[in-house]
Structure 1
Amino acid sequence: MSAMVLGGFLFFSVSIGGAIAWIFSKLFQHTTQGLSLLCGGFLVGLLILDIIPSSVHIYQPFGMILGIFIGYCIFQILDSLLHTSSTQHSSVSLLTLAMIIHTIPISLTVGNLLSNAALSISLTASIILHHVPEGFALSTALIAQGERLWKLFMYFFIFSIFFSVFIWFGQYWVLTNKAQGILMGISIGLIATASVSEFILHHLRAVSVKSFIIYLFLGYLLSYSFHILVE
């Protein structure tokens, strides 16, 4: 199975997540604060339930801790360069960057395994299932900023292209476990700081305490539902 075909499957996967996010945006009637808090709660759940536990089992702690620190520093630098008081487009850019970095170790691993034909079906199923949450999170963030649907698919297309490119690299280049751990840590640091700072704390005083808790809990509950489905 080629890298481009797998990239197409990823595009299909994140599009499913985007469709689910669009349905929820209709239910919330495009409430910016509600969707942002929903996204924040979902991302925190994604980190706690899936990304961090799976990464701890695979990568060395030192590399991950170093990567998280680097990710936090990158967030602070890029946020100061991109952030404006009137919009939150910086949060979407930072989240997109985090998702791309998060994809690199996975893509390289998939590229290393492509020569094993017996793994093709399981790889395809894994790609479809495990990238639906990423599509949901990114789409929720974009819709909360009022982006049009065609821009969602543009982001998904770019995401799938990066995925295909790094799968291709993975066929010829083996990244060390320590380097992959650092990259995963950077992704975790970016996702954590973006979700807490931009999607949660930014709207702390914009809604009532009750609504704040409900939106966050609903986002976490959705993340838990995805976790159960793909487990």
Structure 2
Amino acid sequence: MLLSILIKIFIIGFGGLLLGAVLGKWAYTYYQHHLEALYLFCGGMLIGVIGFELVPESIQLFNFWSLLAGFSLSFILFNYMESAFHSMFKHKSYLSLIAFVFAILAHNVPVGIALGMSGSNEAFGMALLLALFIHHLPEGIALYILTRISTLNEMVVVLAACIVSLVLSFSAGIGMYTAPTKDWNGIFMGIAIGSLCYVAFHEMIGKVLGRIVKRELFFFVTLGILVLYLYLQLSHEFL
């Protein structure tokens, strides 16, 4: 049972990153001047997962203050990490890829623990797996593009995706064997939600601000949210 769940988490994480990498390769090859729209669309989809699934479920299951504490902690952590990596690696182009992969690894630890702790709650676990897969798509796109910019072999993408997914599964295993209180569960979920928000608003949408007009920004983000909302409605009808 445990092994099958961890394998499922690995496959979903690995598959999301590789599918994103395939999209990144296609986009990098044919749409080098339209990547902003793709990032905004993916960011909108992630916002939809957070707003329509994770936040409503978390508010029902966990204490608000523990969620807020975890949410705040994740933003402090990732802002500190970003400034630290930029100051250390700003003179080396390939090190931006290392910093990005490390950020994904750090982000997947609380997400994996949250997945492990939600193993007994199938509906909530599926929401997290959906969020995991969707947020790995834009990360896979960015992973491929950064790899190409760094002039590294494409196998680096596969290796990085494998390492990230292994860390995710390992973290989920830890989450399954721990028995934290409801407050600790809320903190971990707050960290997961905050981390996903960081990826959506900072890494996806924030990176293209100023490079696209506000009308197009609003359109593509809204389109991503609507597509995700319709997908969730259809999935709830048939699952």
TM class, shorter-chain normalised? 0.7 to 0.9
In structure 1, what is the Cα distance between the partners aligned to 2:230 and 2:141? Answer: 16
Q: Which residue of 1 is the match for residue 11 of structure 2?
A: 12
Instruction: Specify which of 170, 181, 199 is matched with residue 165 of structure 1.
Output: 170
Cα pair distance change 1:59/1:217, threshold 3 Å: same
1:106 positional shift:
1.8
The alignment status of 1:41 with 2:44, answered yes or no, reads: yes
C-alpha RMSD of the superposition: 3.4
How far is the alpha carbon of 1:52 from its aligned partner?
1.4
Distance (Å, rounded) in 1 between the aligned partners of 2:177 and 2:129:
26
Please tell me whether the aligned partners of residues 113 and 174 of structure 2 are also in contact (alpha carbons under 8 angstroms). Answer: no
Give the 3 Å change call, closer, same or farther, for CA 168–37 of structure 1 in structure 2.
Answer: closer
Deviation of the 1:222 alpha carbon: 3.9
Q: Distance in 2 between matches of 1:127 and 1:52?
A: 10
Matched ranges for 1:61-140 at <5 A: 61-83=64-86, 89=97, 90=99, 93-110=102-119, 113=120, 126=126, 130=130, 131-140=132-141
> 2:111 is aligned with what amino acid?
H
Distance 1:10 1:168, change over 3 A: closer
Q: Which residue matches 1:201?
A: 206
Q: For residue 210 of structure 2, give the secondary structure of its aligned residue in structure 1.
A: coil
Secondary structure, in 3 states, of the residue corresponding to 1:206?
Answer: coil
Report the AA paired with residue 136 of structure 2. G
Does 2:2 align with 1:2?
A: yes
Unaligned runs of 5+ in 2: none
Q: Percent identity?
A: 19
What secondary structure does 2:11 align onto?
helix
Q: In structure 1, give the amino acid aligned to 2:180.
A: L
> Aligned in 2, Cα 1:178/1:9: closer, same or farther, shift over 3 Å?
same
Would the alpha carbon gap of residues 170 and 145 (structure 1) be closer, same or farther in structure 2, given more than 3 Å must change? Answer: closer
> Residues 16 and 140 of structure 2 are in contact (CA less than 8 Å); yes or no, is this contact kept in structure 1?
yes
Question: Structure 1 residues 229, 175: CA separation in 2 closer, same or farther (over 3 Å shift)?
Answer: farther
How many pairs were matched up?
Answer: 220
Q: Could you tell me which residue of structure 2 aligns to residue 179 of structure 1?
A: 184
Task: Note closer, same or farther for the CA distance 1:7–1:39 as it changes in structure 2 (3 Å cut).
Answer: same
Once residues 21 and 165 of structure 2 are traced to their aligned partners in structure 1, the CA distance between those partners, rounded to angstroms, is 20
Query: Residue 31 of structure 2 aligns to a residue in which SS?
Result: coil
Unpaired segments ≥5 residues, structure 1: 114-118
